[in-house]
Amino acid sequence: METTVTRVRSGGRAHSPADSATILDLLPAPVVTLDAEDRITMANAAAEQFFSASAAYLSYRPLAQFIPADSPLHGLIHQVRKGNSQVSEHELAIESPRLGRHFLSVQATPLPDSPGSIVLMMLDRGITEMIDRQMTHRGAARSITSMAAVLAHEVRNPLSGIRGAAQLLEQNASEDDRPLAELIRQEADRISTLIGRMEIFTDYGPFERRPVNIHKVLDRVQRLAETGFGANIRFRADFDPSLPPVPGDHDQLVQIFLNLVKNACDACPEVGGEINLRTAYQHGVRFTLSGRKEKVALPMKVSIIDNGPGIPEDLTSNLFDPFVTSKPNGTGLGLALVAKLVGDHGGVVECESRPGRTEFRVMLPFYEGGELGEPV
Ligand SMILES: Nc1ncnc2c1ncn2[C@@H]1O[C@H](COP(=O)(O)OP(=O)(O)O)[C@@H](O)[C@H]1O
Ligand SMILES: [Mg+2]
């Protein structure tokens, strides 16, 4: 019988119980043990995070208090007790106001020496899917970067030639022909403006990463919004001031959060619109980024949360692609640029949305390099 977790706990000679507890806390997956009455008897650090409650609070509380009674998870536990053998299930959906919505892979194993007790290990599919999706965004950001370069070099130059020629024609043309020459010039200008928009995706080589105080960035973005497009919206900032700076470019970071806050404002209801800017330390989540072998920790979590109607369902799968928009005058370039700039900063952007609550999360590394200059 597979009893991975218990084997670690009762490992005897090689590991003292203290070691096992530490190891359990290092696991990214929530692990809890249940007694025969389905009360939580042990919870590791990931479980505390998953249930948004401390181990002390969780202790001896019924699991049903956290996971809705009609959830298939309870059936699974019942099955394990009845068969006294391990059961795994993938794609188990769990939804509650406290936990939000999760897709879990769950493994439930009976504890050998205490009848009725069970070890429950949950793997949030969200994390793996999130990484997959971010990889796709990065792909999109890369292709848009090369497209922007092609447009800038291969189209801009001949276009200015066309424009100049049309201008000459306009001067010498007959009354009848002049409107046509004018049309050519105006259309050339329109294409040029479009290409200009794409220019924001052009790479100008590696940029210098300085320590940036993320709270100053967010303050600035909030002020810009309050005095402009978000004047009718109530902003709330929940910052953890103890967080260290992040490595990056101040102006680009402003651009990232300005785009996200602008979208949040656009989505907010006319009356009663609320946006919450949040920073928090995210413990223990590590990401595999493209082009890198080792996993990186992205402990800085910045959230932009609005109370709008949520992302239109048909957009969710390619939200970060260029030209995806639901707005009559939208460009659909805002989130594509966010994905590119967050990627440039070695971070990850992710979105979780339901009607009434949309959260864009940007995860970034902490600044570690060199001598720590004054954060800008
Ligand atoms: N906070 C949000 N709430 C609801 N929908 C959003 C939000 N942010 C982005 N969207 C959706 O994503 C689309 C793409 O956003 P973006 O790339 O910034 O382009 P644009 O704002 O020009 O439409 C928007 O048109 C909108 O449908
Ligand atoms: Mg936008």
Over residues 258-278, the pLDDT tens digits come to: 999 999 999 999 999 999 999
Token look-up 């595999």 returns 288
Which of 69-73, 104-108, 195-199 has the least mean pLDDT? 195-199
> What phi and psi values does residue 140 have, to the nearest 5 degrees?
-60, -40
Query: What's the CA gap between 87 and 345, in Å, rounded?
Result: 41
**Total residues found in the chain within this entry:** 376
The pLDDT, as a whole number, for residue 63 is 94
Beta-bridge mates of residue 275:
235, 306
Give yes or no for residue 233 having a pLDDT over 70. yes
Q: Which tokens in the block code for residue 192?
A: 């040029």
The CATH 1.10.287 portion of the chain extends over 130-201
Helix axes 334-344, 250-267, angle to 10 degrees: 150
State in Å, rounded, how far the first CA of the chain is from the last one. 56
> Residue 240 is which amino acid?
D
In 47-151, DSSP assigns E strands to 87-96, 100-110, 118-124
CA–CA gap between residue 141 and residue 45 (Å, rounded) = 35
Q: What CATH fold (topology level) applies to the domain 4-126? A: Beta-Lactamase (3.30.450)
Largest CA distance in the chain: 99
Pairing of strands 246-248, 300-306: unpaired
The per-residue pLDDT for 236 is: 97
The band of 160, judged by pLDDT with boundaries at 50, 70 and 90, is confident
Q: What is the pLDDT of residue 372?
A: 47
Stated as kind and residue range, the H or E segment containing 158 is: helix 156-172
Residue intervals in the chain for CATH 3.30.450.20: 4-126
How much distance in Å is there from the Cα of 330 to the middle of ligand 1? 8
* Closest C-alpha among 356, 361, 357 to residue 342: 361
Q: Token digits for 194? A: 């479009």
> How confident is the model at residue 138, as a pLDDT?
60
Kindly tell me if the per-residue pLDDT of 137 is higher than 80.
no
pLDDT greater at residue 376 or residue 88: 88
Confidence at residue 12, expressed as pLDDT on a 0 to 100 scale: 40
Note the pLDDT of residue 261.
97
Average pLDDT over residues 216-223: 96
102 close to 66: Cβ distance less than 8 angstroms: no
- Residue 109's DSSP bridge partners are 119
The structure tokens 């800008």 sit at: 376
Q: Nearest C-alpha to atom 18 of ligand 1 is from which residue? A: 334
- Pick the closest to residue 297 from 234, 366, 249, 351 (CA basis): 366
Q: Which ligand is nearest to the CA of 352?
A: 1
Segments of 292-356 assigned E as strands: 296-297, 300-306, 348-354
Query: Which residue of 335, 340, 354 sits with most ligand 1 atoms within 8 Å of its CB, as the best mutation to test the pocket?
Result: 335
Cβ within 8 Å of residue 337, ≥6 positions away: 200, 201, 255, 256, 259
Give me the pLDDT at residue 20, please.
79
Decide if 105 contacts 89 (C-beta within 8 A): yes
**What pLDDT, on a 0 to 100 scale, did the predictor assign at position 21?**
80
Rounded Cα–Cα distance for residues 219 and 57 (Å) = 35
Q: Which ligand is nearest to the CA of 336?
A: 1
Fold of domain 130-201? Helix Hairpins (1.10.287)
* Token reading at 14: 């090689």
Residue with tokens 């600044």: 367
Which of 137, 201, 325 has the most ligand 1 atoms within 8 A of CB, as the residue to mutate? 325
Q: In the predicted model, is pLDDT for residue 3 greater than 60?
A: no
* CB neighbourhood size of 367 (10 A): 21
Mean pLDDT on 353-360: 95
**Buried-exposed string 153-164: b where 16+ CB fall within 10 A, e elsewhere:** eeebeebeeebe
User: 86 versus 41: which is more confidently predicted?
Assistant: 41
What CATH number should be reported for the domain whose range is 210-364? 3.30.565.10
**Within 6 Å (CB) of ligand 1, which residues are found?**
259, 263-264, 267, 306, 308, 310-312, 315, 319, 324-327, 330-336, 358
For tokens 């590696």, what's the residue? 206
Look at residue 71 and tell me whether its pLDDT is greater than 90: no
Is the pLDDT at 101 greater than 80? The verdict is: no
DSSP 113: T
